[in-house]
Amino acid sequence: MARVASGVVEGIGSAGVSGAGSVGAGAVDGKIAAGVVGVGILVGGLWLAARSGEPAEPTVEPAAATQSAQPPAVVASGVASTMASETAKVEVVPVSRTVASSAEGMSAASSLAEEHRLLRAARSALAGAPDRALALTREHERRFPRGVLAQEREVIAIQALAAMGEGEAARKKADGFDEKYPDSPHRRGVGEVVDP
């Protein structure tokens, strides 16, 4: 049994040397050391059980017991490859999540900038071309139906309708605004537009 334990340790040591080039040496060395300790405990337990004449109690899961029945080099190779694949999985997941959340943040910022650009153009058009302002608010609503600046869009649309002499359409839109945004700070301004 002492020779088996020695062979296992040598096999794991050689697997650690070959595996260190492909995966971080510190992570592999730590995991190999843990594997050596685990195999050592298993071999020591089997050795003690054999000497005392009592049947050996399994101290590991069935998959690990099956591996220990294989030659030391196979056990070491299996332990090293399992450790390497688990290390790779742990390292990849956070990076992909970070990239995804970063991309979402950039997309949201880009959408908000585009919303702002459309509504700034609509507000500029209010005085001289209210029909153009109304068209821009409709484009905003089509592209950003639940946009961050939806309330501002509705206020500009109400102002454009009133400036075009469409008092009834402006009042109807203002009533819809009051229902949809009852706590909006824009309600007072909307009321002044439709009820001067």
Q: What is the DSSP string of 68-99?
A: HTS-HHHHHHHHHHHHHHHHHHHHHHHHHHHH
Asked if residue 110 belongs to a domain, the reply is no
Asked if residue 49 belongs to a domain, the reply is yes
Q: Are residues 72 and 11 in the same domain?
A: yes
Asked if residue 121 belongs to a domain, the reply is no
Q: Are residues 58 and 146 in the same domain?
A: no
Asked if residue 114 belongs to a domain, the reply is no
Residue 13 has a pLDDT of 47
Asked if residue 18 belongs to a domain, the reply is yes
Residue 192 has a pLDDT of 82
Question: How many structural domains is the chain composed of?
Answer: 2
Residue 195 has a pLDDT of 75
Q: Which domain holds residue 177?
A: 126-194
pLDDT in tens, the chain (196 residues): 445 444 444 544 444 444 444 445 555 566 665 666 666 676 666 656 666 655 545 555 555 444 545 555 554 555 555 555 555 554 555 555 555 566 666 678 889 999 999 999 999 999 999 999 999 999 999 999 999 999 999 999 999 999 999 999 999 999 999 999 999 999 888 888 877 6
Residue 12 has a pLDDT of 45
Q: Are residues 88 and 152 in the same domain?
A: no
Residue 153 has a pLDDT of 96
Asked if residue 106 belongs to a domain, the reply is no
Contacts made by residues 30-39, CB under 8 angstroms, sequence distance 24+: 31/83, 31/87, 32/79, 32/80, 32/83, 35/76, 35/79, 35/80, 35/83, 36/8, 36/9, 36/12, 38/64, 39/5, 39/8, 39/9, 39/12, 39/68, 39/75, 39/79
Q: Are residues 91 and 132 in the same domain?
A: no
Q: Are residues 87 and 136 in the same domain?
A: no
Q: Are residues 181 and 142 in the same domain?
A: yes
Q: Are residues 27 and 92 in the same domain?
A: yes
Q: Are residues 138 and 60 in the same domain?
A: no
Asked if residue 141 belongs to a domain, the reply is yes
Q: Are residues 24 and 73 in the same domain?
A: yes
Residue 98 has a pLDDT of 56
Asked if residue 34 belongs to a domain, the reply is yes
